[in-house]
Structure 1
Amino acid sequence: MATPTALPPLPFNPGRVRSYLVRLPLFTRLVLLVILAFWLLELQTIWSVVEWGALIPNEINLGTMYRLNTYPIIHTGFFHAFLNALALTPLLERFEAEHGTLTAIALFIGPLSTLPAGLYILIEKVILHGNTSVLGSSVWVFLLLGSEAIRTFKSNPYFSLGPYKIPTWTSPLLACVVLSILVSNVSFLGHLCAILVGYLFGLGYLKVFVPPEKVLRWIEGKLNLLGRLPHYVSVDQKTYGRYGVLPSNSASGTSGNQVPMSFLGNSQRLGA
């Protein structure tokens, strides 16, 4: 009697994946649930979610301004949604852990969605006279990569590629170019607009959009959000993330700095 062949080990540890998902903060969980919900809605044939919520330049008017917020959470299929969610989760989780849940909600429902959309419409419609629609949460992926690249550049200005030294702030641009070459039907312009907004955020030019901490603390205390909402990240918890102060061997001596993390007309998707 032949001995049964042992199954090959999994390329990942299911226990670690489950532990990571259980620890995801509140807003990150909500974003993933909304992405899943809109993908499920797209399975029906009565109403097209993509046509309703995609960022289509010629369709933007006072009655359709909601598209400036809906396009990042709508995708064209399972793999589009899954790969974008996979790339977005660690970046968004890190952002929320650092800035707090209320700040993340205010920024991603507001300027971190509308500014890339407005810049895209300006270039696509006014300058290029096109009407290519875009959608997908990779707009947030490239925006967060742009912000992290600026932070990394401040502590590690270059990375080596053979004999060449390449500025670290260019890494999202290189990723944008490579993705556009390797994957068809993705929006190079949409990703580029997201990266530019991410650069502005990383440089501090968008801090005017960040809600004042005094206001956030008042809201948290008034509504007892930390006590009522599981996985909520408060303003006071967010200074060094939810896991305490990370050790730093930086000799700069600057106080309060955290350790930098390296990290559709004709419809186009934002991301793979």
Structure 2
Amino acid sequence: MPSSFFQFNPLRLRSYIFRLPLCTRALIFVIVALWALSIPIIWLREWAALIPKEIGLASLYRLNTFPLMHLGFVHLIFNVLALTPLLERFEAENGTLPTLLLFTGPFGLIPGALYTLLERGVFRSNTTIMGASIWVFLLLSSEAMKTHKANPNFSIGPYKIPTWTTPLILILVISFLVPNTSFLGHLCGAGLGYLWGLNYIKFLVPPEKILRWIEAKLNLLGRLPHYVSVDQKTYGRYGVLPSTSTIPRSPEGGGVRLGP
């Protein structure tokens, strides 16, 4: 095996970190900061986690905070490493403002609410979940749908597997190999990702005309470094080109590590 395989270039890592767009930086910073704060402030983890039977009008905030909180350092690092490149690509394609609106709103609310309804109404359970892996599988599923358009299948021996099933296979494998992960929580995230990848829920983002007006009025591109404008995205808001690149591989999911 070539020795270059083991080489680590800190300059490349530094360059990559400095190129991260604004919302990606902010969300990763909040995730790491909340984990660090939860060490001395022990009750913070329970305050932020999604506990189905604790959801009420006064605790709806949990639907937005649970992806930001993690059980421990290993849980944190795997999710951050998996989430960062996926979130960076999403922001480059959709813009900073839409990314901020989605990941502080419906991308936590909808899968969190669906998980709560299924846990309480169908399974009669109260399993606590936390962790950004729900976002990891949301983004993986969205990427899988784009890749499926260019490469509908991949082969394993004589079998042809639909490309869009890759996140589901990964969820299943992780549920067997990694203890205390939330199979249901990951499925809820993946389900929303498929809907996004199929362009069924693009209405969750305000019209581009409104976003452009906000950006121009506040001069966000001029004032905020690493800001990605709606007008300067990589591919275009609703015309994302199919990709032939390999779907990023998610490390260990983090649900029950997504709870105890």
> What is the aligned partner in structure 1 of residue 104 from structure 2?
109
Q: How far is 1:262 from its partner?
A: 3.5
For 1:192 and 1:9, locate their aligned partners in 2 and report how far apart those are by CA, in whole Å: 34
Aligned-partner SS, 1:133: coil
Aligned amino acid, residue 21 of structure 1 = I
Does 2:31 match 1:35?
Answer: yes
Is residue 143–residue 198 contact of structure 1 (8 Å, CA) maintained in 2? yes
- Equivalent of 1:228 in 182, 204, 223: 223
Q: 1:10 to 1:166 in 2, by over 3 A?
A: closer
For 2:31 and 2:126, locate their aligned partners in 1 and report how far apart those are by CA, in whole Å: 24
Does 2:143 match 1:148?
Answer: yes
Write out aligned runs for 1:170-249 (5 A): 170-240=165-235
> What is the aligned partner in structure 1 of residue 11 from structure 2?
15
For 1:139 and 1:257, locate their aligned partners in 2 and report how far apart those are by CA, in whole Å: 22
Aligned amino acid, residue 230 of structure 1 = P
Higher helix share: 2
Does 2:258 match 1:270?
Answer: yes
Q: 1:61 to 1:157 in 2, by over 3 A?
A: same
Aligned-partner SS, 2:235: coil
For 2:7 and 2:81, locate their aligned partners in 1 and report how far apart those are by CA, in whole Å: 16
> What is the aligned partner in structure 1 of residue 241 from structure 2?
258
Q: How far is 1:172 from its partner?
A: 0.2
Is residue 23–residue 231 contact of structure 1 (8 Å, CA) maintained in 2? yes
Q: How far is 1:215 from its partner?
A: 0.7
1:2-60 deviations in Å (ceiling 9; x for gaps): xxxxxx9854321111111000000000011101110111111x541210010000000
For 2:5 and 2:191, locate their aligned partners in 1 and report how far apart those are by CA, in whole Å: 42
> What is the aligned partner in structure 1 of residue 57 from structure 2?
62
Q: 1:9 to 1:153 in 2, by over 3 A?
A: closer
Aligned-partner SS, 2:187: helix
Aligned-partner SS, 2:160: strand
Q: 1:257 to 1:240 in 2, by over 3 A?
A: closer
Aligned amino acid, residue 35 of structure 1 = I
1:200-252 deviations in Å (ceiling 9; x for gaps): 111111111111111111111111100100000001111527xxxxxxxxxxx
TM-score of the pair, normalised by structure 1: 0.87
For 1:150 and 1:164, locate their aligned partners in 2 and report how far apart those are by CA, in whole Å: 20
For 2:240 and 2:202, locate their aligned partners in 1 and report how far apart those are by CA, in whole Å: 16
Q: 1:120 to 1:13 in 2, by over 3 A?
A: same
For 2:5 and 2:202, locate their aligned partners in 1 and report how far apart those are by CA, in whole Å: 47
Aligned amino acid, residue 18 of structure 1 = R
> What is the aligned partner in structure 2 of residue 24 from structure 1?
20
For 2:57 and 2:50, locate their aligned partners in 1 and report how far apart those are by CA, in whole Å: 14
For 2:256 and 2:155, locate their aligned partners in 1 and report how far apart those are by CA, in whole Å: 33
For 2:240 and 2:109, locate their aligned partners in 1 and report how far apart those are by CA, in whole Å: 28
For 1:179 and 1:160, locate their aligned partners in 2 and report how far apart those are by CA, in whole Å: 21
1:97-124 deviations in Å (ceiling 9; x for gaps): 0000000011111111111101111111
Q: 1:156 to 1:47 in 2, by over 3 A?
A: same
Q: 1:18 to 1:158 in 2, by over 3 A?
A: same
Aligned-partner SS, 2:26: helix
Aligned-partner SS, 2:8: coil
Aligned amino acid, residue 270 of structure 1 = L
Measured on the aligned residues, the alpha-carbon RMSD in Å equals 1.9
Is residue 153–residue 160 contact of structure 2 (8 Å, CA) maintained in 1? yes
> What is the aligned partner in structure 1 of residue 114 from structure 2?
119
For 2:127 and 2:156, locate their aligned partners in 1 and report how far apart those are by CA, in whole Å: 35
